[in-house]
């Protein structure tokens, strides 16, 4: 009987202790989730993106990003600006240039990382420049116009920020791949596009990746190869198609041993050594040049399809 009374007393004491704790827990669960009250500019400052914030101030975009929003900002930190070439750093001294590039990093509306779709196009604050979203490795790697998202979904009271690993300066200002190939360093590739009747493909909407040899690459070809290519539109078409891959492959989506199949049916091999990427042993002289229909990588070599210029062959 004594033990029974003692047990009942213990249960009563325990219930007196637990009841207030349960009430506190229930009350806590009813509290609203606390959101960060800082705006995008203040949050960028807190993340250490002082260069970005400084350019926002000099271009007057700080006023925009302290407004109601919502906005989605792809945020390069200070080290991303330090990676820029000296010439590009000088370009940022031009207020108009800086404003255009910063607007390219800002999309109206809120886009969390889980909402992104592969090959999605986001309208930026610069009406002439859109941001291309790509997902690689089953969505584990996400890029915005080729810049890798290293940290995502940083909330601010008027939007969300995603930290990226580099400044998005390779903008689609030339339009499609066909438009970019009109740039003076691509004369041979441009004429090859026309002679090979590939202008429609390279100016269309289908996402493509083009490895574009510059003129110096073509000039390295033996003279007899040039002679065989001259006015041979069938061979030229095969040659250009051997530099085109369906889908958008920025360097962030490439990996060693990852095969890329060209429209000519050949396989291009990717190698990454000490962070340097080669495709079929050709260095990418200018990687990740964003286009409205994909991406162009400038290469220092021509990818000649096997057997293309063999004697007696009809390509």
pLDDT value at 2 more than 80: no
Average pLDDT over residues 118-128: 97
Average pLDDT over residues 212-235: 89
Residue 155, judged by CB atoms within 10 A of its CB (0-12, 13-18, 19+), counts as: middle
Q: Please report, rounded to a whole number, the percentage of residues in the chain having pLDDT higher than 90.
A: 77
Same fold? 40-164, 177-299: yes
Give the pLDDT confidence of 42-97 residue by residue, as tens digits: 999 999 999 999 999 999 999 999 999 999 999 999 999 999 999 999 999 999 99
Q: Supply the pLDDT for residue 309.
A: 73
pTM (two decimals): 0.85
Domain limits of the chain? 40-164, 177-299
Alpha helices, DSSP H, located in the chain: 2-29, 40-46, 50-59, 61-65, 78-82, 86-91, 95-104, 177-180, 187-195, 199-202, 215-219, 223-229, 233-241
Alpha carbons 269 and 257: distance in angstroms, whole number: 6
CATH superfamily label, 40-164: FAS1 domain (2.30.180.10)
Question: Is the domain defined by 177-299 classed in CATH 2.60.40.10?
Answer: no
């Amino acid at each position: 009987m004594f033990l029974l009374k003692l047990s009942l007393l213990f249960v009563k004491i325990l219930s007196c202790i637990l009841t207030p704790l349960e009430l506190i827990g229930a009350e806590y669960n009813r509290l609203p989730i606390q959101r960060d009250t800082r705006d995008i500019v203040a949050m960028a400052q807190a993340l250490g993106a002082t260069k970005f914030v400084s350019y926002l101030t000099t271009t007057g975009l700080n006023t925009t990003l302290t407004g109601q929003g919502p906005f989605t900002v792809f945020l390069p930190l200070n080290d991303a600006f330090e990676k820029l070439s000296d010439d590009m750093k000088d370009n940022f001294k031009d207020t108009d240039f800086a404003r255009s590039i910063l607007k390219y990093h800002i999309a109206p509306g809120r886009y969390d990382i889980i909402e992104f779709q592969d090959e999605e196009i986001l309208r930026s604050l610069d009406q002439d420049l859109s941001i291309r979203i790509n997902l690689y490795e089953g969505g584990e790697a996400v890029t915005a116009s080729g810049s890798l998202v290293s940290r995502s979904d940083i909330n601010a009271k008027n939007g969300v920020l995603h930290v990226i690993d580099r400044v998005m300066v390779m903008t689609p200002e030339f339009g499609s791949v066909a438009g970019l190939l009109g740039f003076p360093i691509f004369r041979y590739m441009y004429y090859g596009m026309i002679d090979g009747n590939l202008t429609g493909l390279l100016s269309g909407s289908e996402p493509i990746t083009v490895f574009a040899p510059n003129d110096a690459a073509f000039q390295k070809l033996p003279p007899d190869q040039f002679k065989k290519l001259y006015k041979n539109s069938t061979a030229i078409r095969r040659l250009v198609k051997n530099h085109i891959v369906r889908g958008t492959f920025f360097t962030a989506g490439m990996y060693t041993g990852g095969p890329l199949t060209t429209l000519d049916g050949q396989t291009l091999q990717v190698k990454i050594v000490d962070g340097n990427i080669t495709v079929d042993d050709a260095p990418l002289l200018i990687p990740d040049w964003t286009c409205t229909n994909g991406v162009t990588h400038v290469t220092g070599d021509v990818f000649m399809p096997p057997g293309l210029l063999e004697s007696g062959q009809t390509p």
